[in-house]
Every structure is written in structure tokens, then in C-alpha cells.
Structure 1
Amino acid sequence: MKNVLICASILGSIVTFAQEKDSIKSNNIEEVVVNGRYYKRYVEKQGSSSLRLDEALIKIPQNISIITNKALEDQQVTTLSDGVLRNVAGAQRLEHWGDMYTRVNMRGARAAAFMNGVNVTSSWGPLSEDMSYVDHIEFIKGPSGFLMSNGEPSGIYNIVTKKPTGNALNGTARVTLGSFNMYRGEADIDTKITDKVAFRLNLMAQNKNSFRDYEFNDRYIINPSIKVNLSDKTTLTAEYIYQKAKMSEVGSAYVYSFEGYGTKPREYTITDPNLDPTRVTNNTVNLNLQHKFNDSWKLTSQLSYVNEYTMGSDIWPSMFEGNYMLRGLNYWEASNEMKFGQIFLNGYVKTGSISHKILAGLDLGSKKYMADWSQSYGLDKFNETNDIKLAPDFNYWYNLATNNYDSNGRYPYSGPNNTAGYKPFDKSRPLSERAGAGGTIEQNYTGLYLQDELGFLDDALRLTLAARYTTVKENSYGSKSEANKVTPRIGVSYSINENMSAYALYDQAFVPQSVILRSGEYVKPITGNNIEIGVKKDWFGGKWNTTLSAYNITKNNSTVSDPTNSPSDPYSILLGKTRVQGIEFDLKGEITKGFNAIFNYAFTENKITESNDPANNPVGKRIPGYAKHTANGWLNYTFTNGILEGVGLSFGGTYMGDRSSWNWGSATSSLNMNDYVKFDAGLSWENTKFRVNFNVFNLFDRYLYSGSSIGFLQSDGKTYKTGYYTQADAPRNFRISIGYKF
């Protein structure tokens, strides 16, 4: 709370300073006053330079969706896991680990996480992105040969950070209060130091508890950036993001049951007070140099460095005796270091009547995650008199009836009761030595790509021809792999008129696999083939637009865990071929004066089409990790004149039907999750200086959750029993924010 008060004091000083500057005018990029009315920007017509495609989105032969900062502000989104995905057709969150990091799935697989055009995806990250330093988010569906060196053919999301604009002093200050003791302060200062030097500073401090006892998530961010015009043609941009997070132990959001999904009250938790939290420190540095040779040719080079240190704690069930659970508490120390180098060239030439948009580049990347997992012990122990574990009883109502536990079904205690053998981390030995092969994930890659977009008929017809050569070396927990592959890309886009285009795309991707067969052989990389067609249209001068696309992705060499494995065996088997196909529709923008809308729908189907293990994985079996039907909507109406001028009304909803889980356990089950239906509403008021937002989430207080089946180890240490885990969403809750623009 102290830090939030400090931040609020800073914001107050900023407001006072801005009020004293009579000559300073409001210059908010995301919202302007046009002819006496407020015009909100839910639509972007062109991607960032980090997308590498120097072209309007309507001309690109691929489904690309951009979420603007204004949409995020209206929805009061604070992190990537906090409602961002409602703005993109078919995207959903899986295994969010209580907001430590966000796993985004779309088109049947995990979407790679990018920041400013570099792939920061890791097995345990990145730290869930906070919106305080985000300008907008770009979602690129399907394989993206112009960005990815390797990754799932589902697509990527690219976080584009706020950077100096070069304008005179302007910015925002905002304080947000909310349910569960949420206190958040933000400041965004954007100014011009000289005609050649611009500076921007983003600050954020947050304290937030949970609807579950003993859970919390505190976070602090400092994000300075500077832009220097070295000459009329050369620009250098440097930015630094410092993040400090402290949160309750990982795993505290999970609830377990043998009966099914959602059988415990939403506020049920297996955690307790006095457990050490998880602490994460993230340092990110990015340097970007752009040089324009002339109006037709531009060279961009970029260096990025990410260093994330974690002193973590997590709590999981270790074994069961009937319905009784024995919890395990683990501590780990981890380092996640990533280094990236990029250089790419954009150019334009004409050969006769044919135009050529050239993209050529080189990507270099190095990622290394090391973790010391050695500190773990049983949080609970057997009761020596009756052999009953003093632990949270899995049968909540039985515990409550016998009065042995508190109102959440936990055994009351003041700290871990079985710490025998626990020792602090041996810091005299380097982490690399303590982690060893069993605690290290390492990847090094190189990507070289060339793309030519040929324009015919005065650029009305565009043919994209591209190829990427990628080499990857991986070492995942001692399993090594090395692969290289050329992936082609062919696209056609035709402008029916200046506001409408149709496109078709064929693209490939590949994913190296650090898994091993029982024979000792290593597995070839997953290869993915994507075919996509679509139609894009701008309506009423581009105030709103729509995209309709259909796709078919096949994947070869997919693997699953060997069903004959003992609990300690690492072996996999070749699954065969899988296919994900679907249809996606996106609509966003200003429909009529003052009325802005976001609507999307996606149909997704992901199944096995050829199987090497028909007994356990027959043809037609669903691949986990998606909802067959997803639909989202967000409506905002702002009165633009009269006594209610500046008043805004918002209403939104999310639907996910026929959901499949992400089943990472050894057990399988046919039990389906309920459909997910959530509604939110908001009320706002704004003028050229102030903005007040009040939003209510989960308006009808529905019990919402995600989850999966899992195999629970029994007390004999050998057998598993099928159970379920659930992560519940928050009940009805609210946020109110007050912002000042200067």
C-alpha cells in the first residue's frame, strides 16, 4: 500500500505541474475531439514497424488483428490475462498460473509471445504483460514466416511497447481502485527534449489481493525510453523495462476434485498464510536503429536482451489416500536469459509495369532457462494416531461437518508442519551448476528470409513469394535436438476496390522437438502446413472493418507421452498427423457516430487424422486445448452532444462452447467442461482533460472456470486415480479509475 500511495503522490504532482502550464494542450494519441465529438480509435489500418511488413493490413494476405490502446482502456484491462483476448476471434487463455504468465492458445495450439518483433516465448514465461507499457497488441494468425524462426503454426501475438512520439509534453495519470483491495497507479509522460531528442516514461505500481484467501499480486514497473534523430534519415530508439513482481505461490489458484469440475466453492483454496511468495525481477532492454536510404529503401536493426530472475514457490498435491490430499511445497531459483539480434531491409522497385516490395532479413536468437528445483518437501504429514493426513480434505463438505477444518476446508495451522530436511539454496555454487542438465532449457536459432511481393494491375493484384531458412539447436532437460528447414510462403491478395480485398495463403512452420523414443531415437521436428483464404473490408471510409477467414492446418510428427511409461520414464511415441481447421470473423470500429463495437466469432476443430497409436489415440480424437465455438462482443456508446456529452455506456460478453481442456496429466476423461458465458458492463465520463471509468465484471456472478483431468498419485506411490483440477474466475467485481490527460 505504501508504494501505491507514493505513486498516487507522483500522479498528483504531475497533474499540478500540467495545470500550471497554460501553454500545454491536450494531445492524446488514442482519442481526439473531432467537430465537437469524441472519436475513439478501435481500428488500426497498418501494423508497427516491428511487424516488418511496411503495408496496409487490408493488402496483406493473412489474418492480422490489432487491439488498440483505446479498446484496452475502455475495458479497463491491466494485464494480458485480464480480458485482452475477448478482442480477437478464437483466442483463449489456458493455464494462466494465477497471472504469473499467460498462455494464449488459438487455432488449436499455443501462440508464440513476441515483444517488439522478437520471440520471447519460453516454457515458463514471459511474465504476464502489463498494459501500462503497451501501445497496442498485434495478433498474427497462422504461420508467420516473416517473423518466426520456429514455432507452432497457430500464430503469434506481438506486444508493441509505448515509445516517444516527439510531440510537446503530453501524457496521462491514472489511479484505479477495485474489488479485492486492488490499488493501482499509472503515469505516462511523453515529451520532446529538443528537436532531435524525445523522451517517454511509464510508471506503474499495483497492490492486488484475490477473492481467495491469502492470494495477492503486487507489481511495480519503470519504463523509460528515448528516441534520437541522429540525422534526417537515421533514428535510434532505446527502451528499458524494469518489472518487480511479488505474488502468492504458484499453484494456489488450482482446486482439485475427484467428482468433476467446479465442485468446490469459488473461494476454496489449498494455500495457507505464512508461505514464502514468488518473486520475479525482469529487466528488458531494446535498441532499435532505423535508416532510410531514400523514400523506397529502409534498413532496420535491433538488439534485445531479457533477463528474468525468479525465486519461486509452488504448492501441488503430492499424493492421496482416498479423498485426503497431502500437499507438496516446492521452492525454485531460476534465471531466464534471452538475447536477440535482427536486421532487415524493406525496399520498393519497379520492373516495367510490375512493382516489387522486398523484405530481406536475418534473425539471431539465444535463450537459456536454468532452474534449481532441489528444495521441496511435504507441507503436510500423517496423523500418527489414525493415519489421517493433516491436510486440506478433498471432500470439502465432510471436513466442514466434522469441524476439523476452517470455512475453506483447510486444516488450521500457522506454517509448514513438516520442514525436515529443508535447506536454503546453496548460493556458494553457481545456478548453472546447481541446475545441471535436468534443470536447463537452451535454444539457439538463426533465421534468414527473403520475400518479394509482386504488384500487378497498378498494385491491385499482389503475389507474395517468400522463403525462410532456419537452423535450431535445443537442449531441453538433457534431451538435445538440432534441425534446419526451408519453409516457403506463397500469398495472393486482390483489391476488389480500395476498401475491399480477398486473399489466399500457403505457409509452413516447423517446431523442433527435444523428446526421445523408447528406442533411443530422437524425433523429427513438427512440420505444419497452413492454407488460408479470406476477405477484408473497410466500411464507411475505414471507420470500421471486417475480416472473414477460413483455414486448414495439418501437423506432422506430433508426439504424446508413451502410454507404457512408468511415472519416471521420459519416453514419447509418434502420434501421427493432426488437423485443425476453422472459420474466424472479426468486426471492430465506429459503426455510427459515437457508437463503437468489437465483435468476433470463431469455429475451431482440432482432431487426429492419422494415428500411430490407435488404441489410445484413435483417428477422430480431439486434440486438447481449444473451444469449438467462441464469440465475443464489446459495445460502447458515448454521447457526443447535449447535457450527456462525454457520458459513455459499455456492455460486453464472452462465450466459449464445447470446450476441451489442456490435459497435461496422465489420465484421460470424457467429462466435458460447462460452456463459458460471461458479461461485463461499464459507465464512463470524459472531457478533454478528465476521464472516469466504472466497470463491473462477471455482471451476473456466474461460476466460471477452466480446468482439465489429471492423474493423482495414490499413497502406494505407484497407482494413479483420475481426478480434475479447476481454476475459478473471480465472482462479480468492479473497478473504478480516474485519469487526467495533459
Structure 2
Amino acid sequence: MLYRLNVSGQQKKSHRDFEYNNRYVIAPVISYRVRPNTLLTVEYDYQRADMSDVGSYYVFSPEGFATLPLEFTALSPGMPATKINDHSLIGSIQHEFSPDWKLTAQATHMIFKQQGTSLWPAAVNPDGTMLRAVSSWDALSKMTMAQVFVNGEFHTGKLRHKILSGLDMSNKSYWADWGQSHQLDSVGAEFDVHNPYYGIPVNGYPSFDFSTPIEQRAQAAGGTIDQRFSAFYLQDELAFLEDRLRLTLAARYTEISQAAYGGTAITDNKITPRVGLSVSVNPITSVYALYDQAFMPQSGRLSSGREVKPITGNNMEIGLKRQWANGRWSTTLTAYQILKRNELTADPNSPPNSGLSVELGEKTAKGIEFDLKGSLLPGLNMNLNYAFTDSRVTKVTENVTVVQEGDIVPGYARNTFNTWLGYSIQSGALEGLGFSAGLTILGGRETYWDPSPDPNEVLPTYTKLDAGLFWAKDNFKVNLNVFNLLDEYLYSGSYYSWLNAYNWQTDPPRNARLSIAYKF
């Protein structure tokens, strides 16, 4: 009999006034070896959170991006907290038939409850004043998932087979009430972002009625989701030429049934294949290629009122991996193309808390990634990553006018660069003392579908420098990290035409974290 108890707690404020995120987690685990070849594990996770209104992260102004102080917020103190209770019960059993074959069965039951509010403007005026509105955000989610699979290995002649086969099932029900709303401000007494008043709002605080069961309120608001799927999966990895060439052949059959937001239930099924090839050219070089298809359920409510379809598509990827300098360095170069059909995105002509979406039709993402990691000198290590991504709408669903064929898909950076250097003194009186530094650069960031009325108002290149100092000896370690070392005004955002305003979320200014660890 083995046991483990994980307990964590957090009391967290923000660089924006009146925001907080307090939570704690309790997660006991028990494992019991029923027989020498059979292991039973049961885990329970409970998380409780009390946090401020989630909409307070967003800042609005008609004057352009980053035109308000980094710490600005439209949240008034005294707003009711958003409370979350999240329960997960996980059970698994593993049975080894032989050294080469194993059966695994696992199941999870999750219950998520949330009661809170979402802050969002009802109107933003040209002078920067606004009417703040709050809607209810009460939610209940129940999900049960189970998997049973067997994996093992056998040989046919000189071929080695690695088999993975099993069943995958899920049943999810979701209820949400966003149908109650309250306006904090009134015409003639708007909230002024340049001279904010954080007293009691002129219309008072919201007082929503949560006494009726959430299932009934969700039915009235159209906030229900019922989603089920079951799948069978079979994979064989074949190894040839003394394991230098590996061919993976796999297929998954999936059945989906879903009904969402008051719509009728739809069912669908599909077989999705997967083929992978990996070749060890020599002991330090390998190349690989991959093709697989996707078939995933998704939930949403289309502005057109039509039924939501599952996501379909495919992924193609090729790559080259190599080691250098007697294994001190390794590189990976990858090129890929991901095609998705029917994927939903929030309707830019509606408020984000409306729950309305549009179906893109088809989008294609193409890109390359390069990874480099290794040792420059004894004790001096480096990780470097660069990615180029181009994601565009390649087909538009009939009667959808908010996007055009060839439009860039928002929400990503065309160029992403990350690097991290770490140095640890290897000997002498200062042995165990180390330094680290990391740099992140996001270039060519894309905003939302709505074009800015000012072509010069675009998201600038995102540059963040972090640094650290650490000391380790035996089982003891102290680590001091400083994030956003240059104290830059960092943010992401977009333009929303329905409010005629720019919207952004700020990252914290320069901040530090001290960690102390002792292992025994």
C-alpha cells in the first residue's frame, strides 16, 4: 500500500487593483498492489477558488492600444466573488500478463461548479467613458471518461511489432446561466477611464438570483451542452532493419453525439487513419514523416442558428533530428501543415460573453520549427527555439461574411523566438551557484478579425527578458527569478467594431519569485 498527499494554497493579487485569485488544492493518492503484476490506484483532486470577476482583465479605449496605465482596471471593489469548486475522482488498474503485454483500465468522474459574474462594457463612448455591464456566469459541468487499452510487443520473423489497442469513451453534460445582467453605470453617470471612480457604482452591485437550480436556468438561457463519444483505436509500430526503420500504422473509429445550446442532437462517425515513418540514417541522425486525420467534437452556438459540426482535418509533418559534437548538441527541424474544417471562432460582431460563434469553413496553418539545445561550455547550457507560422482561412462557409478567403487567422504570432541560458559553477567555494537568463520575442502578432480603423494601430513586437539566480547544495536549493526584467508594457489585444474600441490585456510589470526547496 502506497500513499501520497499533495496540498497547495495560493493567495494572489494582481498588478491591477482589486483583482485576486485565492485557491487551495487537496489531492490524496492511494496505490495498492493487489498482486505482484496488478496495481490499483485511486486519486481524488479537489480545488476551491475564490477570484475576482474574470472580465476585469480586459481594458477598453477608443484611443488605441496601451493608452491607459498598465495597472488600470474597470473593476470596482466590492463586486461579488466568483467561486469555483472542482472535484475529480480518478481510478486506474494495470495488469501485466507478461513482461511484454499489459492491460490498463482507467476512469475519471469530474464535477465542476462555478458561480460568478463577467464584466463587459455595454457601450464605449468616443471620449473614453463607458457603461459597464455585468452578466451572471453560473456553470455546472459533469464529465465521465473511461479508457481500456492493451499494449504489447511480439515478433514475426525479423519484424518487431508494438501494438496499442483500446476503447475510449466520454460523456459530458454542461449547464450555464449567463442570462442575468446588471448595468453598473447609467447615461450621464458613465465610468470615466481617465478619471475612474471606484466607489459604489451608481446602479449598485449586481444581485443575481441563483436559487433556482442551474439546470433549469440553463434551459431558459439556452446554455446546455450534452456531448458523448466512443472510439476504438488500433496501432501497430513495425520495426525493420534492426530497428533503424520504424513504420507506424494506426486507425481510430469515433462515434459522436452532441446537442448544444438548445439545438437538436446530431450524430456522426468517422474513421481517421494515422501513418508515421521514422528512419535512423545513422546513430546521430534520424528523419521522420507523419500524416494523421482529426475528428473532434466541439460545442458552440452559431449566430446563423445552424447545427454545429465536429472538427475534421489532417496534419502533415516532416522532421530531421541530429546530434552534434559527440552528443553535446542536438537539433530538430520540423515543417508542418495543419488543416481544420468547421472550427468555430467567436463571432466578432457579438459581445464575447454572448456565446455566439461563426464557422470558419476551412483554415490551414503552415510553419517550420527549429530547436537547438546543448552545452556551450562546462556548466553553460542553452535552449533555443524558433517557429514561423502562417495561418489563413482557405475556405469560407456559405453566408459567413465576417471573414474572407485568404484572411489571416488571428491570435498567434508569425515569428516566435525563445532562448534560455543557464550557467552553474562546477567547482570551488561557489560550486552550485548559478545564473540564468531567458528571452522571448513574438513578432508579426495578429489581432482579431476586425481591422483597426487606424492602420498604424497594430500589436507591436512582444519582447520579454527574464533572469534568475540559484544556489544548490546537497538536497537544498534556492532559486530567485525576475520576470519582465526590463519592465516593459506587455500586452495582447484586438479591435472590436461592435464597441468601436480597442481591447487589450496587460502582462505584469517587473516581478520576482523566490523559491526554496528541500528534498528528503
Same fold at TM > 0.5: yes
Q: Given residue 693 of structure 1, which amino acid in structure 2 is its aligned partner? A: N
Where does the alignment leave 5 or more consecutive residues of structure 2 unmatched?
A: none
1:208 aligned residue? 12
Aligned equivalents of 1:595, 1:705: Cα separation in 2? 32
Match of 1:622 among 408, 414, 425: 408
Asked whether the 8 Å contact 2:112–2:140 carries over to 1, the reply is yes
2:486 is the counterpart of 1:700: yes
Amino acid at match of 2:315: N
Decide whether the 8 Å contact of 2:323 with 2:331 is kept in 1: yes
Q: What is the aligned partner in structure 2 of residue 726 from structure 1?
A: 504
**How far apart are residue 344 of structure 1 and its match?**
0.8
Paired residue type of 2:189: K
Q: Specify the alignment match of 1:431 in structure 2.
A: 214
Q: 1:614 to 1:333 in 2, by over 3 A?
A: closer
Q: What pairs up with 1:91-490 in 2 under 5 angstroms?
A: 197-323=1-127, 324-382=129-187, 388-391=188-191, 393-394=192-193, 396=194, 409-413=195-199, 415-419=200-204, 422-426=207-211, 429-436=212-219, 438-479=222-263, 480-490=265-275
Comparing 239-248 with 266-275, which one deviates more in the overlay?
Answer: 239-248
The alpha-carbon deviation at position 641 of structure 1 amounts to 1.0
SS in structure 2 opposite 1:251? helix
Higher RCO (Cα < 8 Å, 6 or more apart): 1
Kept in 2, the 8 Å contact 1:326–1:378? The answer is yes
The Cα shift of 1:419 comes to 4.4
2:515 & 2:395 partners in 1: Cα distance? 53
Evaluate the alpha carbon distance shift between residue 592 and residue 344 of structure 1 in structure 2; reply closer, same or farther with a 3 A threshold. farther
Distance in 2 between the 1:677 and 1:237 partners?
Answer: 44
* Shift in alpha-carbon separation, 1:538–1:199, aligned structure 2, 3 A: farther
Q: Percent identity?
A: 46
Tell me: CA distance 1:377–1:571, structure 2 relative to 1, closer, same or farther (3 Å).
Answer: closer
| Structure 1 position 659, deviation (Å) | 0.5
- The Cα shift of 1:555 comes to 2.6
Mapped contact 1:667–1:722 kept (Cα < 8 A): no
Q: 1:508-523 alignment to 2 at 5 Å?
A: 508-512=293-297, 522=307
Task: State the 1:644 CA deviation.
Answer: 1.0
Instruction: Report 1:653-664 matches (<5 A).
Output: 653-663=439-449
Task: Tell whether the 8 Å contact from 1:481 to 1:513 is kept in structure 2 after alignment.
Answer: no
- CA deviation vs aligned residue, 1:392-430 (integer Å, no higher than 9, x gap): x24x2xxxxxxxxxxxx31242x343249944322xx32
Matched residue type, 1:492: L
With normalisation by structure 2, the TM-score equals 0.91
Query: Could you tell me which residue of structure 2 aligns to residue 604 of structure 1?
Result: 389
How big is each residue's C-alpha offset from its partner over 1:123-173, in whole Å with a ceiling of 9 and x where there is no partner? Answer: xxxxxxxxxxxxxxxxxxxxxxxxxxxxxxxxxxxxxxxxxxxxxxxxxxx
Question: Are 2:226 and 2:259, in contact at CA under 8 Å, matched by a contact in 1?
Answer: yes
- What one-letter code is carried by the residue in structure 1 that aligns with 2:513? R
Partners of 2:350 and 2:27 lie apart in 1 by 47
- Tell whether the 8 Å contact from 1:582 to 1:603 is kept in structure 2 after alignment: yes
TM-score (norm 1): 0.65
- 2:164 & 2:204 partners in 1: Cα distance? 59
Partner of 1:81: none
User: Measured at CA, do residues 337 and 588 of structure 1 come closer, stay the same or move farther in structure 2, by a change above 3 Å?
Assistant: farther
Structure 1 residues 250 and 294: alpha-carbon distance in aligned structure 2, compared to 1, 3 A threshold: same
Which residue of structure 2 aligns with residue 497 of structure 1? 282
Q: Report the structure, 1 or 2, having the larger strand content.
A: 2
Deviation of 1:543 after TM superposition, in Å, equals 6.3
What's the secondary structure of 1:208's corresponding residue? strand
CA contact (8 A) 2:315 2:337 kept: yes
Q: In the aligned structure 2, how far is the partner of 1:314 from the partner of 1:563? A: 18
Q: Distance in 1 between matches of 2:503 and 2:274?
A: 41
3-state SS of the aligned residue for 1:436? Answer: helix
RMSD of aligned residue pairs (Cα, Å): 2.9
Opposite residue 220 of structure 1, the aligned amino acid is Y
Change (3 A) 1:459 1:519: same
Equivalent-residue separation in structure 1 for 2:218 and 2:452 (angstroms): 29
CA offset at residue 609 of structure 1? 2.6
1:527 matches 2:302: no
Alignment of 1:684 onto 2:470 = yes
Alpha carbons 2:2, 2:32 under 8 Å: kept: yes
Aligned twin of 1:636: 422
Give the partner amino acid of 1:435.
A
**Which runs of 5 or more structure 1 residues have no equivalent in the other structure?**
1-196, 383-387, 397-408, 712-719
* TM-superposed deviation, 1:645: 0.5
CA distance in 1, matches of 2:167, 2:512: 47
Mapped to 1, the partners of 2:358 and 2:516 lie a distance apart of 55
Deviations 1:208-267 (A, max 9, x none): 111111111112111221222222211122222221111111111111011221111101
Q: Given the superposition, is the C-alpha separation of residues 246 and 266 from structure 1 closer, same or farther in structure 2, using an over 3 Å criterion?
A: same
| C-alpha distance in structure 2 between counterparts of 1:305 and 1:447, whole Å | 18
Q: Distance in 1 between matches of 2:346 and 2:465?
A: 38
Aligned to 2:518: 740
User: Does the aligned pair in 2 maintain the 1:252–1:269 contact within 8 Å?
Assistant: yes
Secondary structure, aligned partner of 2:215: helix
CA apart distance, 1:542: 6.0
Distance in 1 of aligned mates of 2:355 and 2:11: 41
- The amino acid of 2:216's aligned partner reads E
Q: Deviations over 1:155-192 (max 9, x none)?
A: xxxxxxxxxxxxxxxxxxxxxxxxxxxxxxxxxxxxxx
Q: How does 1:552-591 map to 2 (within 5 A)?
A: 552-558=337-343, 575-588=360-373
Q: Distance in 1 between matches of 2:33 and 2:203?
A: 61
Please give the alpha-carbon distance, in whole angstroms, between the structure 1 residues aligned to 2:471 and 2:227: 49
Greater mean alpha carbon deviation, residues 625-634 or residues 221-230:
221-230
Match of 2:54, SS? coil
* Superposed CA offset, 1:586-635 (max 9, x none): 23455553233322111000012334579753332101121100011111
* Residues 288 and 300, structure 1, Cα contact 8 Å, conserved in 2: yes
Task: Report if the CA contact (8 A) 2:344-2:359 is conserved.
Answer: yes
Output the amino acid matched with 1:722: N
Q: 1:613 to 1:377 in 2, by over 3 A?
A: closer
Amino acid across the alignment from 2:410: P
The offset of 1:478, in angstroms, is 1.5
Q: Is the 8 A contact 2:436 2:469 kept in 1?
A: yes
CA gap 1:534/1:527 in 2 versus in 1, 3 angstroms:
same
The separation in 2 between residues aligned to 1:576 and 1:589, in whole angstroms, is: 42
